[in-house]
Amino acid sequence: MNQTFNNQEYMDEPGVGSALSSGWNSMRNNFLVLFLAVLVVIVFMVPIEWDGDGHSGDSSAILEFLTTAYALLLYPIVNYGADMIFVKAVRGDHVEVKRIFDGFKNYINVVLASLLTIGLIGIGLIVFLIPGIYVACRLAFVSYLVMDEGLDPIAAVEASWRITRGHALKIFTLGFLSIFIFFAGLALLLVGVFPAIMWIKASFAALYLSITSDVAPELQDELEE
């Protein structure tokens, strides 16, 4: 049996296959918009990936500090905004690339949610690799909950942890398959990287919508608290 959630049909039992299928269809139907969104994310990622070779001493330390500050205080805004664009695309809403900067309207919550998520995953990784991966799977929906539902950082983390209960393996499997999708795109002379990233992000958005459709009453209770 199917159920309707936010103008999009999903199976009662969310699955990796259905998420990939829905993500693929959404990518095809909104290719240019999603392509531009991914391009913007990649452009904003460049300063983070730049290793700063050729600088030494104090200048290198300052550059590293600025890069870290950029990664923690600016990049999450664009990344969270892109996640919201993909949610809207999968849901069937009208999508505009300029909405990728909507995170600036909710700057504090986005940055704090990102920092909290990174910190919790980092603690898990310090304990051991497997706990870190598990925590990452349980917190995979934080960005969606902040942008889509307007939750504050703590509420978003708590809601993500609750609604992903019983779905961690699905999230991990989709993440694992995403690695192969990305490298398959990379093998196509870099041209396939963009569709690969678009498909991955659309698939995660589809999985988010399908899982939250099953717990919509609980999520509404969270919003009313």
* pLDDT at 160 (0 to 100): 97
* pLDDT at 59 (0 to 100): 75
Domain locations along the chain: 13-224
> What's the mean pLDDT in 144-160?
97
> What's the mean pLDDT in 165-185?
96
**67 sits in which H/E element:** helix 57-73
Instruction: Please count the CA atoms within 13 angstroms of the CA of 214 that sit on its side-chain side.
Output: 18
E strands, 1-90, where? 2-5, 8-11
* pLDDT at 5 (0 to 100): 40
